[in-house]
Amino acid sequence: MSFKTKVASLASYEKGTIEVNDDLKHYAFSNIYEVANMSKPYERVLVASNLEYAGEVVRAEGTSAWYTAPHDEFAIVMDGEIEFTFFQLVDAEKPTHIHGACKLAGSPQGKRMGKVIARRGHEVLLPSGAAYQMKAAKPSVTLIQTCKGPESVEKWSEICVLN
């Protein structure tokens, strides 16, 4: 038996469904593109949650605000190209909350650390103690592994469909 993996994008995806006797590998990441298509740029929509851990889908388009988190986060670019710019945080900018990303009030005051240009399939570390900003020239999608926090948006009733 052979399987063909179809890789979706914002422009071309099929919404997956799960049947009781179906094989779940047919639907990996099948609905994140629909969530991204329905989202505002840089809205961090929860698509997975396990205790305090979370997966957030982000539609990257234009330039984001500056974000930081009290722990490492990881971003996997699922579609398009996203530029991540990093700055160290000064003590006054370090997050005071426990989990998840939050926006900085303005531009970071610390030292520039560099940037990463990531394309489909690339994973980027978003380190604690740093601020990051995302830029995308055209609509792109990233899946961020993080913890539920102040910027997390729950739309479960909109994105979960029971058949």
| Tens-digit pLDDT profile for residues 29-57 | 568 888 999 999 999 999 988 888 999 99
What CATH number labels 41-151?
2.60.120.10
Domain ranges of the chain: 41-151
**Higher-scoring residue by pLDDT: 131, 3:** 131
Average predicted confidence (pLDDT) for the chain? 88
Q: Percent of the chain having pLDDT more than 90?
A: 68
- Name which residue leads in pLDDT, 68 or 6: 68
CA distances from 40 to 43, 57, 59, 74, 131 (A): 5, 11, 7, 21, 21
> Cα dihedral sign for 149, 104, 72, 32?
positive
Residue 120 pLDDT > 80, yes or no? yes
CA distances to 50, 83, 141, 153 from 63, rounded to whole Å, are: 29, 9, 13, 19
Phi/psi for 156 (5° steps) reads: -55, -40
Q: Are 74 and 131 in contact (CB under 8 A)?
A: no
